Amino acid sequence: MAERSVSIVIPAYIGTADGRDLLDIQLGALTRQDYPGEFDVVIADNGSPIDVRGHIESHPLRERLKLRYVDASGGPGAAFARNVGASSALGEVLLFCDHDDRAYPNWVSRMVEFLDEGYDLTCSAIEGDSLNAEHPRRVANIPAPDQFQPPGVYAPVIIGTSMACRAEVYRKLGGQDVSYAANEDLEFGWRAHREGYRLGYLAEALVAYRYRRGFRPGYRQGRSRGLGLARLNAEFPNNGLPELHLPEVLLRMIRLPFTRGLVAEERGLMIGLAVGQFRGGFRYRTMHWI
């Protein structure tokens, strides 16, 4: 495996001390990477109300991880923070993960190795079991790695919580579209594919994903995703994802509040997704009446 210089970009909006502790869990996981080459870590702070700069600049892992803080408060959202972080990154390969997840020890090495199989942009599967034992989802589970990539879609589905991209490609594409509140990673991948870049999906869970806690965070996440999916149907027609049909979306909106067996987060996620698709389907004219 070629030892390439790597920059790990972590977009972060941290509102509480608990969120800061989750960042430290992710940073601890990055100290256990088995990658033999050099890498540094860029924390792109998206306007956190607590002092993330002070935390990073005095962090005990600062030297070991070559931690750098960048101010990404000039615009809202993960896409904006990733773009700011990428603009100051030094590595020839950019890796992206989220501050509240946990990378497996082989994450960096496998992502770089897979990218070097001939791709410009890749992502891996993730798993939702190990960090969510106390509040597992019952219906909206993360698919198994071999089921994560939907068949027949326009191009591989890229997820920002475990993404690798050649730095020159990221910059040539102008980064991620900051007008997307969610699904900006998927749009970035499909735009890269449309421009002729090579996308790959690694069916191996390399990151432990942490669910939101409670109905409201789940609802906000689902609503943003629903809007983004409706917009993707407009910008990438015939993309292979399910079309939006008004009777089906309305039925979900009516049934989900009364569906048994859902934990609060996944109920919020699924209701929010339906609401977002309802609003987005009309906003972007991708809703089918029957």
The pLDDT, as a whole number, for residue 2 is: 59
For the whole model, what pTM was predicted?
A: 0.94
Task: Give the residue-averaged pLDDT of 269-289.
Answer: 96
Domain boundaries, the chain: 6-208, 215-288
pLDDT at 206 over 90: yes
Specify whether the CB–CB gap between 192 and 173 falls below 8 A: yes
CA dist 147 and 182 (Å) reads 22
What's the pLDDT band for 136 if we cut at 50, 70, 90?
Answer: confident
Specify whether the CB–CB gap between 153 and 183 falls below 8 A: no
Bridge pairing between strands 67-71 and 39-45: parallel
Query: What's the CATH number for 6-208?
Result: 3.90.550.10
List strand residue ranges (DSSP E) for the chain, in order.
Answer: 6-12, 39-45, 67-71, 93-96, 102-103, 121-127, 163-166, 199-208, 244-245, 287-288
Task: Give the residue-averaged pLDDT of 199-208.
Answer: 95
CB atoms within 10 A of CB 241: 16
Angle between helix 215-235 and helix 184-194 axes, rounded to 10 deg: 20
CB atoms within 10 A of CB 276: 27
Task: Give the residue-averaged pLDDT of 105-125.
Answer: 97
* Burial class, 227, CB count within 10 angstroms (exposed 0-12 / middle 13-18 / buried 19+): buried
pLDDT tens, residue by residue, 36-92: 999 999 999 999 999 999 999 999 999 999 999 999 999 999 999 999 999 999 999
The pLDDT, as a whole number, for residue 220 is: 95
User: 189 Cβ partners below 8 Å, 6+ apart?
Assistant: 121, 123, 155, 156, 157, 158, 199
